[in-house]
Amino acid sequence: MIDASTLLTILLMASVTYSTRALGYLALRGRTLGYRATAVMEAAPGCVLISVIAPDFASDKPASLIALAVTLVAATRLSLLPTVLIGIAAAGVLRHFLG
C-alpha cells in the first residue's frame, strides 16, 4: 500500500536530495565561494543534525540523558558501528534499571 501524501513527500524528498548532488557539481565546478558562503555551507549540516536530535538533550528521563552522555563520549572516540551498539545497549540497560 502506498499512501498519496506519503508518495508525494517521498518524491519531493528525492528531488531535493538529488538536486543537492547535481548542483554542487554543476554550479560550484571550477569556482570558489566567498568566505561567508563557505562558512554557512560548512556549518549547515552540523546545525541541522543538532536541531533534529536536540529533543534528546532536553529529555526529562534520567536514563535517556545518561545513555545520551555515554553515546556522546563513545562518538568522540569510536567509529559508527561500535558507537551505535554502545548507545543502544546503554539506553536499553539504563531504562531497564532506572525506568
Q: Which of residues 23-62 bind another protein (CB under 8 A)?
A: 23-30, 35-36, 38-58
Confirm or reject binding of residue 2 to another protein (CB under 8 A).
yes
DSSP annotation of 38: H
Residue 99 interacting with another protein (CB under 8 A): no
> Which helix or strand (DSSP H or E) is residue 73 part of?
helix 62-77
- Please tell me the count of residues contacting another protein according to CB under 8 A: 75
The minimum distance between CB 4 and another protein, in angstroms, equals 9
